[in-house]
Chains A and B, each alone.
Chain A
Amino acid sequence: MIISAGLLYLALFALAARMPRHRPVLLGGWQGHGFVPHLTLAGWSLMALSLASLWTRADVGIALVGWIGLLALLGGGVTLGISYCPGVARAGVPVALALVLTGMASGG
């Protein structure tokens, strides 16, 4: 579930950062970078990966329900971050990456 949560946050962040309204807040000086146009594809791919990572679990149904809840939690986090505290939303990216790596290292 840790890997899935990390990937989901990265997915939501990428999708939000691709939107012109949120791009300056989330990307700052990076907004003119060449990777920006590919963020939509990256976001949806990461979301698909996040879902796919659940398939390795024995209790896939229960994990899927948890994922739906995580979508609300992390989506709400990104939204509130953009509105009130963009630094925290940005800081979530390395944390999410660390979660993915930790999850991969610990096997789940």
Chain B
Amino acid sequence: MMNAARRGLWYRAGIAVRALCGTAGAYGVAALAAMVLARGLPVPRAEAVLVATMLAFIIGPAVTIGAFLVAGASHAPAGTGLVAGAGGGVRRSMAWLHGWAGLLLGHILFLMCLTGTLSMFRPEISRWMRPEVSATADPDHATAAAVAWLAANSRNSTGWYLTVPDGRSNVVEANYDSDGAFVRRVLDPVSGAPVARDTLGGDFFYRLHFDLHLPYPWGELLASLAAMLMLVAIISGIIAHKRFFRDMFTFRPGRGQRSWLDGHNALGVLSLPFHIMITFTGLVTLASLTMPWPMTAVYGKNAMAFYSEVTPGAVVRPASGRAAPLAPILPMMAQARRHFGAPVSRIYIFNPGDAAAVVTMYPVEEKAIGYMPGEISFDGASGRILKAWTETRPAVRAYQTVYGLHMAHFAPMLTRWLYFLGGAMLTLAIASGMMLWIVKRRERAPLSIGNRLLERLNVGGLAGVPIGLVAYLIANRLLPLGLAGRAEMEVSVALWAAGTGLALGLLLPPSRSWPLLLGLLAAGCGAAALTGPRWSADPAIPAINLLLLVSAAATGALAWRRARRGAEPA
């Protein structure tokens, strides 16, 4: 009895040591290694920092895996690289790590992956949510109209940040400050005035994907931690999977735990390269926040020096204090187009209305994967070129490529759909993993209190989050157009709906909450499609309606199945 208790204590202590080494230890080792690399790599210092930062996100998960591979917990602190021989023990410890790494922030990962997947069609969703903006203008004239409106309607601004319309978006998105307040407006392509329907559109999904609607920097930090755990879960899942190739095409429906496992494996394995790519690149996009140590090791507190070396094309000059009108934007855009050999995608205007104003333009990113491959800056008052830069440094291009792979701005429509499919498979892999945890334990023995709570949390999280997102779409249709703070209210509706779904999941037994919440989700998808814009020449609108109706049918069928199962005697 005493020995069993001691063994249990020893086991728990071992897990605690490994977990500590695999989290704080792994981060410390990765940060330290990246700092050494940043100072030691024989390339210019800005490039060394970028390379070291990317490598840190390979070193970190490797150390975590190592901490759980060592033969005994006592080895973990010193020998994170000591690998226990291949065999059942390794697979068991990797299966344990896979389960816990996936479970710990699984609901956050589900939210991140679902919203990230939807973000693939951010402009199209925005078009669906702003059907009144049916007019189109060529990008040059839409930008000129927006600049004219901003010149007349912003005061004491230090910068206007504009996204130029393209084949997918028909509005100018403007972020700027006016009298000290930060403002975001979506501007009509013809009049340049803000559009009638105040909404965040698809941007809500995009931002929720990485800031989780939490105050900065907590959302980004939590998202980054979740992504790190996902990378660990993916790698440990590969090592734990005994029949990786043999099970590759296997799905046996209607067989309880076996079906869940088959589904989880198939979703994970068939899209594995995509899952690794999207997780690693996602980590790199938040690197400046989560892995600043290589930069600190080289530049100390002078982060601006790093950023100016990474973007040598940028022109930074203070406002002169003398007023001067902005030179016409159209000739500058024409020059930028000639320089890039591609249309302009973004325009930043610093110190507008000042004699020292600077206009910086960036090309569209459809020629290559790399993010922001170049820039050109003009003197705002005269319109003459100040500086033009095309990025060719290999390390910077590599970093931009990794970043661009995650953002997918380069992706043509077919590739965008394939990203959507990969994202959907990852979302389903996470959801099926969470379900599998419960199904597996229920088949062995009655569920513990913790697992019963998790089971209810699964219902609330996996059904509540989509309910919140659909409620956001419905709110977009039903809230009056002129309502003050309309965009924020749409978001509030989404959060309250998701919260209600979560609460219902926690309060009701799963046999009742599953059919209820899935039924609500089906009704919500149907209502969003029916209340949304119906007939339009814009192909995005009927396509989204169709997707909503298909989702309604699928979740409705699931709800009906769960309801029937709940009605059957145990």
Q: A-side interface residues toward B, CB under 8 Å?
A: 1, 12, 15-16, 19, 21-22, 59, 61-62, 65-66, 68-73, 75-76, 78-80, 82-84
B251–A71 contact, CB under 8 A? no
Look across to chain B and name the residue whose beta carbon is closest to the beta carbon of A68: B273
- Chain A residue contacts of B415, Cβ below 8 A: 62, 65-66, 69
Which of B111-119, B242-250, B478-486, B523-531 touches A? B242-250
Q: Residues 254-285 of chain B: 1 if any A CB is under 8 Å from the residue's CB, otherwise 0? A: 00000000000010001101100100000000
Instruction: Please name the residue on chain B nearest to A73 by beta carbon.
Output: B421
12 other A-B residue contacts (CB within 8 Å) besides A61-B369, A65-B405, A84-B253: A19-B248, A61-B368, A68-B422, A70-B418, A76-B266, A76-B271, A76-B425, A79-B248, A79-B250, A79-B270, A83-B251, A83-B253
A75: B residues at CB distance < 8 A: 248-249, 270-271
CA distance A66 to B410 in the complex (A): 11
Partner of A72, one of B245, B249, B274, B401: B274
Interface centre among A65, A66, A75, A76 (most CB of B within 10 A): A65
Q: State the main secondary structure of chain A at its contact with B.
A: helix
Size bracket, chain B contacts: 20 to 34
Cross-chain pairs A/B with CB under 8 angstroms, 8 sampled: A61-B369, A65-B405, A65-B415, A69-B419, A73-B421, A76-B266, A82-B249, A82-B250
Q: Pick the contact of A79 from B251, B273, B401, B410 — CB < 8 Å? A: B251
Contact B422 A69 (CB under 8 A): yes
Contact indicator B369/A62 (Cβ below 8 Å) = yes
Contact A65 B251 (CB under 8 A): no
Which one of A12, A59, A66, A72 lies within 8 Å of B425 (CB-CB)?
A72
For the A-B complex, the count of residue pairs with Cβ-Cβ distances under 8 Å equals: 84
Q: Are B250 and A21 in contact (CB under 8 A)?
A: yes
Give min CB distance, A10 to chain B, whole Å.
Answer: 14
Residues of B within 8 A of A76 (CB): 266, 270-271, 421, 425
Question: Is A65 a contact partner of B411 (Cβ separation < 8 A)?
Answer: yes
Determine the distance from Cα of A46 to Cα of B367 in the docked complex, in whole angstroms. Answer: 29
Q: What is the CB-to-nearest-CB distance from A42 to chain B, in angstroms, rounded to a whole number?
A: 15
Q: Could you say which of B251, B274, B368 contacts A80, with CB atoms under 8 Å apart?
A: B251
Measured CA separation A22–B248 after assembly (Å): 11
Indicate which residue in A16, A65, A70 contacts B248 across the interface (CB closer than 8 Å): A16
Leading 9 A-B pairs by shortest Cβ distance:
A69-B418, A75-B270, A72-B271, A16-B249, A83-B251, A68-B273, A79-B249, A66-B415, A61-B369
Chain A positions within 8 Å of B367 at CB level: 59
Q: Which of A19, A69, A82 contacts B274 (CB 8 A)?
A: A69
- A84 to chain B: which residues have CB within 8 Å? 253
Q: Chain A's nearest CB lies how many Å from the CB of B475?
A: 32
Chain B residue nearest to A74 (CB atoms) is B270
- Chain A nearest CB: distance from B33 CB in Å? 28
Does B384 sit within 8 A of A, measured CB to CB? no
User: Is the beta-carbon distance between B246 and A19 smaller than 8 angstroms?
Assistant: yes
* B residues near A73, Cβ cutoff 8 Å: 418, 421
